[in-house]
Each structure stands twice: as structure tokens, then as C-alpha cells.
Amino acid sequence: MEISREGLDDVLIELYQALQTTEGRNEGTRGPTKELLGVTVRISNPRCRLSRSEDRGKPFSALGELLWYLSGSDKLEFIEPYVPPYKQDAVDGVLPGAYGPRLFKKGGSIDQVANVTALLREQPGSRRAVIQLFDAEDIVVRKTEIPCTTTLQFHLRDARLHLSVAMRSNDAYLGLPHDVFCFTMLQEMMARRLKAELGQYIHHAGSMHVYEDRFEAMARYVEEGFQRLNPMPEMPPGDPFEIVPILLDAEDRIRHGDLVVAGDLFEEAYWADIVRLLQVFWASGRPTRLDELKAELSGQMYRTYLEGRRHKNERLPRMRKMLGGDV
């Protein structure tokens, strides 16, 4: 099956409809699934990486996961506030399949991102610009968690950078929106570093599936109907990897309650808004602070997600009361 669409929401609607009607089933590691084998997704505008749906729009957790990758960390402590289910797979506070170390410290020392950059600068048409995340060793010893992504291949063609991602396994409901966000952000960062335009994003999953406990939620998303595409702004010129340490330092300070003024860190509205999104996430239960951040956000599209965060915060106390505190 192949789905070619402009953005994430277009893809999800068609994919979820196909999963609803498929006869394919499989017993996954976390329970029964509906499954499609050999699914390829092509997104022509990778900046349409955020769903407009209240349920599928995940800018905060996806951004946290992206920064986790870029930090090179495998520590649960970093990612758990953004994606709590990772706790189930951690071993002594470490995620064995974490992508960060495999991207930037493969085998303890190989920076695959830097190597691909150097290769494409020297040989722009190379077909060897491949980052490997899944290892043969990953199935020698039975682990609770191993990479779902096998490879990322960058294609520099006619001054446009395309990215092909191969997945051995892909959770269409929980995983795919995060994967599209993180990998297309990495794609755009690499494009800026190489002074290239952003090309297509191509995503292939050997097993594309949805777990039984998400069938109803998936059906509700389909019932919402098509969402208006709203791409993120273009990244500013320059090498985004050079500002990663500033972003990580800002995230750490925000996490620990320090006052951070995004506009003092970045002149570009793009990166200042990324910092503000982190501040929105950590401003849980502080409506006055959310109002301040809403006024500061340059990108109008992000304000919808801020309001969604506000409403979620308002619902949680009621839910805890109804469920006796078990939320």
C-alpha cells in the first residue's frame, strides 16, 4: 500500500481508514493489533508535520522526543515527562534502543549525522548517505525495547534533500505522528546545513499497525474528517545543529523552573517559538503564564496547541476527582 499526500493529516485519514477495514491481524508485543504489511507514505510538504486534530496534534511530546534525540541521551529522566510510557521499557533508568546515542555516538564514537553531512558535501549524489539505527545485535539478546526504525537515507537531488525512513514496525496511532515530526525536523535541519531545499519525506513500514485499545480513538479521528493543512514556518538559514546546545540548555533551565526569555536567546522568531513551546509544556496548571506565552508566540498556528494544553490542564483535576485521584 502506498499513500502520497501533502501533509500528516492527509496521510492519517487514509491510513486509519485502511486499518479500520483490513482483515490483517497480529498479536503484537503489547496486545492484539490490526496490521497492514509493507506500507509506504510519501509526504510532499514535510513542514505539514503537525496534525490539526486536538487528539493527534502532539507538538509538545514530539518536540521533547526530538530534543532527546539531539541530546544524544538514552536516559529515561529526560524523556519521561514528555512520553511517560517509555518508563515501561527502561532498564535501570536507560532506554536500550534510544536513537540519540545511535545517531551521534554509534559504537561509542561514530557521529553518523556528521558523517552523512561530510559525504553529501563531497558527493552530493551519493546513495550511501545512510544512518543505521537497528543493529543485528538488537535481536541477539531479548530486550524490552529496540529501535523500530532501521535506517534513515538522505538523498540530495537537484539541490533538494529528500529523506527515506525504513521502519521494521510502526504504531500508526501513537508512533507515526511522532516519527513524522522528529524525522522531518531532522530532514529540514540537514537541508539547512547543506544549503539545500526541503524535498519529499518517504516513510516505509514493514508492519504498520494499531493496537486494539486504540481502535475507538482512531475511529473518532476519522470521524473528525479532513483537517486544513497548516505547515510550520521554514527554518531560518544557517546550520541548526549549531544552536542545539542553546536549545538543550534552555530546556533544562525551563524544566527546573528558571526564568527564560526566548527572545533573548534567539533573534529568529522560529527558534524563539520552539523555546516558547517548551515553556508552554512546563507551565502546566499556570493559566497566567500560558496567557503570557500566548501573547509572545509569533507563529499563530502554535496558539491552537497552547489552548489545547490549557484545556487539558483544566480537565485533569476534574478527572482525578471523578476517578479518586488515579490519573
Asked which of 224, 249, 276 is the last residue of a domain, the reply is: 224
User: What's the pLDDT score for residue 308?
Assistant: 86
> Is residue 27 in a domain?
yes
> Is residue 109 in a domain?
yes
Distance CA 193, CA 137 (A): 32
User: What's the pLDDT score for residue 327?
Assistant: 33
Asked if 198 and 270 sit in the same domain, the reply is no
Asked if 211 and 107 sit in the same domain, the reply is yes
Asked if 251 and 159 sit in the same domain, the reply is no
What CATH number should be reported for the domain holding residue 24?
3.30.572.10
User: What's the pLDDT score for residue 227?
Assistant: 77
Q: Which residue has the cell 502546566?
A: 284
Asked if 171 and 304 sit in the same domain, the reply is no
Asked if 214 and 268 sit in the same domain, the reply is no
Q: 3-state SS of the chain?
A: CEEEECCHHHHHHHHHHHHHHCCCEEEECCEEEEEEEEEEEEECCCCCCCCCCCCCCCHHHHHHHHHHHHHCCCEHHHHCCCCHHHHHHCECCECCCCHHHHHHCECCCECHHHHHHHHHHHCCCCCCCEEECCCHHHHCCCCCCCCCEEEEEEEEECCEEEEEEEECCEECCCHHHHHHHHHHHHHHHHHHHCCCEEEEEEEEEEEEEEEHHHHHHHHHHHHHCCCCCCCCCCCCCCCHHHHHHHHHHHHHHHHCCCCCCHHHHCCCHHHHHHHHHHHHHHCCCCHHHHHHHHHHCCCCHHHHHHHHHHHHHHHHHHHHHHCCCCC
Find the domain containing 81 and state its range. Answer: 2-224
Asked if 93 and 19 sit in the same domain, the reply is yes
Asked which of 198, 224, 250 is the last residue of a domain, the reply is: 224
Asked if 151 and 261 sit in the same domain, the reply is no
Asked which of 224, 251, 285 is the last residue of a domain, the reply is: 224
Instruction: Count the domains in the chain.
Output: 2
> Is residue 205 in a domain?
yes
Asked if 183 and 288 sit in the same domain, the reply is no
> Is residue 258 in a domain?
yes
User: What's the pLDDT score for residue 83?
Assistant: 96
Asked if 142 and 246 sit in the same domain, the reply is no
Q: Backbone phi, then psi, for 171, in 5-degree steps?
A: -75, 110
> Is residue 126 in a domain?
yes
**Full pLDDT tens readout for the chain, 327 residues:** 999 999 999 999 999 999 999 999 988 778 899 999 999 999 999 999 999 887 777 899 999 999 999 999 999 999 999 999 999 999 999 999 999 999 999 989 999 999 999 999 999 999 999 999 999 888 887 777 899 999 999 999 999 999 999 999 999 999 999 999 999 999 999 999 999 999 999 999 999 999 999 999 999 999 988 778 889 999 999 999 999 999 999 999 999 999 999 999 999 999 999 999 999 999 988 999 999 999 999 988 999 899 988 877 655 444 334 334 433
> Is residue 233 in a domain?
no
CB–CB of 229/7 below 8 Å?
A: yes
| Closest-CA residue to 50 (of 65, 60, 42, 64) | 60
Asked if 261 and 218 sit in the same domain, the reply is no
> Is residue 235 in a domain?
no
User: What's the pLDDT score for residue 81?
Assistant: 97
Asked if 193 and 302 sit in the same domain, the reply is no
Distance CA 285, CA 257 (A): 14
Asked if 143 and 257 sit in the same domain, the reply is no
Q: Residues with catalytic annotation? A: 148
